[in-house]
Amino acid sequence: MADKAEIKPKVLAYIESKRNEIVGTLRELVRIPSVTGGEGEAQKYMQRLYSGMGLKVTSQEADYARIRHHEAFVKSDFDYRGRPNIIGVMAGKPSAKSLLLNGHIDVVSPEPVAEWEFSPWEGKAVGNRLYGRGACDMKAGLIASYFALKALLESSVKPEGMVILQSVIEEEPLGGGGTLACLLDGYTADGMVIPEPNMKIVIAHPGVLFFKVKVTGRSAHAGMAHTGVNAIGKMNRVYEALVRLDERRARENHHPLFEKQSGRSCHLNIGTYQAGDWISTVAGWAELDCRLSYLPAETADEVKQQVAQAIKKTADDDQWLSQHPPEIIWYERRAEAWEQKPEDPFVQAFKSTADSTLGSDTEIVGATWGMDTRLAPYFNMPAISFGPNGGNIHGVNEYVDINSVIDCTKVLAAFIVDWCGAQKI
C-alpha cells in the first residue's frame, strides 16, 4: 500500500486543477433532459464517461420478473426498456475493502419552465452557481463520484479495493428499477456512499407513504344546489382533520438527527386537491393526494391506523360522511424508514476523511426525505449520503454550489484512498 500522506495531496491538487473540466462535464450532463422515464440519453453519456476511464462497464435494464419479488420493490409507472442502469467497475483485491458510489440520473419535471431565470436544460454558470434541473439533485453528485475515481487514476494511483460507480434510474419516484436492481444483480460493496445534495453526513431518513382520500357528495344542478351535497365542503373537514393530525404528530414524534437538519421530524403534506368537473354542477366528488413521513421507531401500519382514525373521527361527527365514509387508498409507492448508527466504523471512517480533507467538523444529520440509502441494509452494507450543496431542489432555478462540487470530489477521492487503500501505478 502506498503512503496516503504522499498520495492525497497530489490527488487533491489534480482535482483543483480540473475545476473547469469538472464544471464543463456537469454542464454537459445537465443539458441532457432526464426526467424520470426518459433517462436513456443521459445514461448513454454516463456510459461513455465510465468506458473512457477504462472501467468494466455494464448497461443493464432492470428485469421486472426478477426484482418484483423483493420486499423493498416499488413499481413505477414506466417501462424499463431503453432506460438502463450504468455500472462501472474498477476491480481490486478481494482482501481490500470495496466501495460503491451510487447516484441517480433521473430528475423531476422542471415545470413551470416559464418561471425559470435560465433554461432548466442550459446548465448556466453564474458566479459560484450552476443552474439547471438536476444540477444539484443529483447530477453534480454523479460527476463528483466520476472525477473522484478519475483523479486517482490520472494521478497514477489505483485503489486496492474494488470501486463501483452506479448511475441509476427512477430514484425520484422511489422505484425499484434503479439501485435495487443493481444490488440484486450483485453490484454491492463493503460500504455505499450516495452523493445526494448536502455536504453533511446523512445517516437516517424517515419512512414515506403516499395515499389518496376520496369523498363522495351528491351532484345537483347549480340552480337546485340546495338539493345536493357538495363534496368540497365535506372534504374540507377531512383536510382540517389531516392538518390537526400533522400538527399532533409533529408535537409527539421527535428524532434528533431529523430536527438537527430541518427543525421538525415528520410531516403530513397534502399535495393536491381536486373536486368536481363542471362549474354549474354541485361537486359530487373530491380527492386529496397526500405524503406522510414516519420515524424509524414507528411502523407503516401504525401511522396508517392514525390516518384512518383521524378521518373516521371527523366522519363520525358529520351526518353525511358518517353514512358515506371517505375512502383511503394507500399507494404502492413508498420508502422504508432507514437509520445507520453514527458509531458505525464506515460512518466514522468517512467523517474522519471529510474532516481532514475539508479542515472542519463535518456534521452527522438525518434527512427528512427518502433516498436509496434505505436499500443498503437489505444487502448488509453500511451507507451514508454526502454530496454538494445547492438550492431550489425540485423547484424553479435549481442550482448547485460549484465550490462544493469540487470539495465533494476531493472528499470522495480521499475516502477511496482511506477506505479501499491505494497503490501507485
167 and 211 fall within a common domain? no
pLDDT score for 1: 58
231 and 289 fall within a common domain? yes
pLDDT score for 366: 93
Long-range contacts of 64-73 (CB under 8 A, 24+ apart): 64/177, 66/181, 66/184, 67/176, 67/177, 67/180, 67/181, 67/184, 68/176, 70/176, 70/180, 70/184, 70/378, 71/378, 72/176, 72/180, 72/336, 72/374, 72/375, 72/378, 73/176, 73/180
pLDDT score for 103: 98
pLDDT score for 2: 64
281 and 216 fall within a common domain? yes
Domain count, the chain: 2
Per the structure, the complete domain to which residue 376 belongs is given by 4-203+340-424
110 and 20 fall within a common domain? yes
pLDDT (tens place) for every residue of the chain, 425 residues total: 567 778 899 999 999 999 999 999 999 999 999 999 999 999 999 999 999 999 999 999 999 999 999 999 999 889 999 999 999 999 999 999 999 999 999 999 999 999 999 999 999 999 999 999 999 999 999 999 999 999 999 999 999 999 999 999 999 999 999 999 999 999 999 999 999 999 999 999 999 999 999 999 999 999 999 999 999 999 999 999 999 999 999 999 999 999 987 889 999 999 999 999 999 999 999 999 999 999 999 999 999 999 999 999 999 999 999 999 999 999 988 888 999 999 999 999 999 999 999 999 999 999 988 899 999 999 999 999 999 999 999 999 999 999 999 999 999 999 999 999 999 88
Task: Show the cell assigned to 188.
Answer: 454491492
Of 218, 223, 246, the C-alpha closest to 234 is: 218
Domain edge (last residue) among 335, 351, 368: 335
Q: What proportions of the chain, in percent to the nearest 5, are helix, strand and coil?
A: 40, 25, 35
- 174 three-state secondary structure: coil
278 and 308 fall within a common domain? yes
110 and 155 fall within a common domain? yes
218 and 233 fall within a common domain? yes
Residue 323 belongs to domain with CATH number: 3.30.70.360
183 and 34 fall within a common domain? yes
Domain edge (last residue) among 335, 354, 371: 335
Beta-bridge partner residues of 157: 424
Angle between helices 140-154 and 40-52 (to 10 degrees): 10
65 and 123 fall within a common domain? yes
pLDDT score for 398: 98
Question: Amino acid identity of 376?
Answer: A
pLDDT score for 262: 82
> Strand pairing of 204-205 and 338-339?
antiparallel
165 and 184 fall within a common domain? yes
Residue 148 belongs to domain with CATH number: 3.40.630.10
Distance of CA 252 to CAs 92, 157, 267, 367, Å? 48, 52, 12, 19
228 and 276 fall within a common domain? yes
Beta-bridge partner residues of 229: 218
Of 115, 18, 14, the C-alpha closest to 402 is: 18
Domain edge (last residue) among 275, 300, 335: 335
Q: Look-up: residue for cell 413521513?
A: 293
Q: How many residues does the chain have?
A: 425
CA separation for the pair 193, 195 (Å, rounded)? 6
58 and 86 fall within a common domain? yes
